[in-house]
A and B are shown apart, each in its own frame.
Chain A
Amino acid sequence: MPSPLSREDVAHLANLARIDLSEAELERLGAELPQILDHVAAVQEAAAADVEAMSHPQPISNVFREDVVTPGLTPDEALSGAPESEEQRFSVPRILGEE
């Protein structure tokens, strides 16, 4: 059986992912993730060091188009799903700290 991740390990990952997990969720993921990682770790033995990495099915890079102005969303359309908006802008909670 793989060793569980510590509560602190999972809390750190959840913080990086900006998800405020509950204590119960932290505990459950701490037990589940090592089982999954134990399975997927097989990739480490499968690939030799000199095999090139593949990030995408197509060998494409930098797809350009002509810089032509085309119609986009109106401000009302763009804001139609916003939790809060004001004067044609997204309204968000404070983004600066207290200090």
Chain B
Amino acid sequence: MHELSAAALAERLVNGETTSVEVTQASLDRIDAVDGAVHAFLHVDAEGALAAAADVDARRAAGENLPTLAGIPVAVKDVLTTIGQPTTCGSRMLEGWVPPYDATVVARLRAAGLPILGKTNMDEFAMGSSTEHSAYGATRNPWDTTRIPGGSGGGSAAAVAAFETPLAVGTDTGGSIRQPGAMTGTVGVKPTYGGVSRYGLVAMASSLDQAGPVTRTVLDAALLHEVIAGHDPRDSTSLKAAVPPVVEAARTGDVSGLRIGIVTELGGEGFQPEVRARFDEAVELLTGAGAEVVEVSCPSFVHGVAAYYLVMPSEVSSNLAKFDAMRYGLRVAPDGVEAPSAEQVMAASRDAGFGDEVKRRIVLGTYALSSGYYDAYYGSAQKVRTLIARDFAAAFEQVDVLVSPTAPTTAWPLGEKLDDPLAMYLADVATIPANLAGVPGLSLPVGLADGLPAGFQVLAPALADDRLYTVGAALERLLEQRWGGPFSQHAPDLTEVAR
């Protein structure tokens, strides 16, 4: 049961072959069996999930017409606020904090009848590419538990890859949905900026953050996308536009005549040869299915990482100022100070509550925004952002979608890049441009490279998210024909590792 897709489970629920309580219990049992080896979850709410499941079952039994995914369990990245469940953002700063309100994404999951299994692990405040920066310990990659699952949303990706849940929600600021997707062989989508409400998403970089689906199939991602997307008056950057027809695109998956551009700058030097080989094979499959494939140059993308590591820390230094030890979160008194001032308590609490990577980015952002350096750093980065958006605009004049490997390499061993922040940052080279320009992106698994999952990225113009699903569904179908079944059938048996 736990290996079925959400779409398959939904069909069984409608046909009365199973109940939401059974499906939810199967996920909870699987979490019990394997999460000791994976550590995808920071909090599991068995009671709440089963109660929501029982409610859906009762409504279905009463003949109520329910949303497609009603009764299918979901896991939520611990950066989205949840009434009744802790929201820590992977930080000591928010240890034990239970928010008094739901994120809009969470409210929509509840309204659509999805039982929420719990909260998934992440790099502290979503800062990292390996989930090793969680204050509560690293998540492990289900394909090889000595390796990282990617980040920052390694918990959501690993939970889905380990069959602990069919569905999860992640957030993506520079690749935190797509890069873990590539590392764990799962499907991850960053919708168009503004497509999904950020209300209740604890902000890292407000002009880049976007929540999206993490699943094992392209259709499941589209179904979840449809549940969480749409205008929200509580988020002033939420777009007043119709949700693109993502489910229809995922069901059809017809790429004949579609113009696909391979990004010249993303896939050459620094990319693992086997990752590139899986990418090239996937492109051949799309060509065989009738897509027109050309190469497209986006010359400013090479400056994406540099621009991102100025824009993002600048916004971080401002956004994380709210953790001031006054209204919620950790408050510690400085050592050896009698009757400390609010400011001294603030500084001591922020030192105790934040981890190394968060401090590094706050200080970096403070520097980039400080008088005398603002124009040279933050100002120049904003100009590069314009150039990257122009590259996208020019490319989408020629082609319907752009494609690249999602990440330069497969999952690396735990600890390998922890002492080299710059090397860690470069893991996001292919995913960052989409965040800077606000366009949507999808990653799906295209096979094993040197024994580990490799990801394929599709990028589309803003509000053309449906094209991601068209290409993703077509490629998934062609690959499954080649493999004789879904990619996830190759995943190792974790119950042995957990024992």
- B306 touching A19, Cβ below 8 Å: no
- B100 touching A78, Cβ below 8 Å: yes
- B341 touching A95, Cβ below 8 Å: yes
- Which A residues are CB-close (under 8 A) to B334? 20
- Shortest CB distance A35–B (Å): 6
Judged by DSSP, the binding face of B is helix
Contact status of A81 and B327, CB under 8 A, knowing A19-B350, A19-B362, A29-B360: yes
- Which B residues are CB-close (under 8 A) to A33? 360, 363-364, 367
Partner of B347, one of A20, A77, A81, A83: A20
| CB 8 Å contact bits of B430-471 with A (1 = contact, 0 = none) | 000000111000000000000000000000001000000000
The reply on B331 being an interface residue by CB < 8 A is yes
Partner of B382, one of A15, A40, A55: A55
- Which B residues are CB-close (under 8 A) to A97? 341
| CB within 8 Å of A: which B338-357 residues | 339-348, 350-351, 354, 356
The reply on B297 being an interface residue by CB < 8 A is no
- A93 touching B207, Cβ below 8 Å: no
- B376 touching A58, Cβ below 8 Å: no
| CB 8 Å contact bits of B15-47 with A (1 = contact, 0 = none) | 000000000000000000000000000000000
Interface size grouping (class) on chain A = 35 or more
Contact status of A47 and B383, CB under 8 A, knowing A57-B207, A58-B438, A93-B340: yes
- Which B residues are CB-close (under 8 A) to A69? none
Contact status of A40 and B310, CB under 8 A, knowing A21-B351, A80-B100: yes
Interface residues of B (CB under 8 A from A): 97-101, 193-194, 207, 233, 236-237, 239, 300, 303, 305-307, 309-310, 317, 321, 324-331, 334, 339-348, 350-351, 354, 356, 359-360, 362-364, 366-367, 370, 376-377, 379-387, 389, 421-422, 425, 436-438, 462
Contact status of A29 and B239, CB under 8 A, knowing A18-B346, A20-B350, A53-B379: no
Contact status of A36 and B422, CB under 8 A, knowing A22-B351, A58-B193: yes
* Known contacts A17-B350, A20-B351, A46-B384, then 10 further A-B pairs from the complex at CB < 8 Å, ordered by chain A residue: A13-B367, A20-B344, A29-B363, A33-B363, A42-B303, A43-B303, A43-B306, A46-B303, A52-B383, A58-B194
Partner of A44, one of B317, B339, B380, B386: B380
A47 CA to B362 CA in the complex, in Å?
25
- Which A residues are CB-close (under 8 A) to B303? 42-43, 46
The reply on A37 being an interface residue by CB < 8 A is yes
- Shortest CB distance A75–B (Å): 11
Partner of B387, one of A17, A21, A46, A84: A46
* A79 and chain B: residue at smallest CB distance: B327
- Which A residues are CB-close (under 8 A) to B339? 93-94
A85 CA to B300 CA in the complex, in Å?
51
Partner of B317, one of A17, A35, A36: A17
- A sample of 27 inter-chain contacts (CB < 8 A) reads A10-B363, A17-B362, A18-B343, A19-B350, A19-B351, A19-B363, A20-B344, A20-B350, A21-B359, A32-B421, A36-B309, A40-B306, A40-B377, A43-B303, A47-B387, A56-B237, A57-B193, A57-B207, A58-B239, A73-B101, A80-B98, A80-B100, A81-B327, A83-B325, A83-B326, A83-B331, A90-B327
- B342 touching A92, Cβ below 8 Å: yes
- Shortest CB distance B240–A (Å): 10
- Which B residues are CB-close (under 8 A) to A95? 341-343
* A81 and chain B: residue at smallest CB distance: B328
Q: Which 6 pairs show the lowest CB-CB distances between chains A and B? A: A57-B438, A81-B328, A47-B383, A53-B382, A83-B331, A77-B100
Contact status of A57 and B383, CB under 8 A, knowing A16-B366, A40-B377, A83-B331: no
- A93 touching B341, Cβ below 8 Å: yes
Partner of B306, one of A18, A22, A42, A54: A42
Judged by DSSP, the binding face of A is loop
- B326 touching A92, Cβ below 8 Å: yes
- B363 touching A43, Cβ below 8 Å: no
Contact status of A63 and B359, CB under 8 A, knowing A43-B377, A53-B382: no
Partner of B422, one of A13, A20, A39: A39
- B422 touching A43, Cβ below 8 Å: no
Contact status of A81 and B422, CB under 8 A, knowing A19-B351, A19-B354, A57-B462: no
- Which A residues are CB-close (under 8 A) to B309? 36, 39-40
- Shortest CB distance B38–A (Å): 29
- Which B residues are CB-close (under 8 A) to A41? 306, 376-377
* A90 and chain B: residue at smallest CB distance: B327
Partner of B300, one of A46, A57, A73, A83: A46
- Shortest CB distance A28–B (Å): 8
A37 CA to B350 CA in the complex, in Å?
23
A25 CA to B175 CA in the complex, in Å?
28
* A22 and chain B: residue at smallest CB distance: B351
- A35 touching B422, Cβ below 8 Å: yes
- Which B residues are CB-close (under 8 A) to A82? 327-328
A12 CA to B303 CA in the complex, in Å?
29
- A39 touching B100, Cβ below 8 Å: no
A10 CA to B100 CA in the complex, in Å?
37
- A57 touching B437, Cβ below 8 Å: yes
A53 CA to B233 CA in the complex, in Å?
27
The reply on A1 being an interface residue by CB < 8 A is no
- Which B residues are CB-close (under 8 A) to A18? 321, 324, 343, 346-347, 350
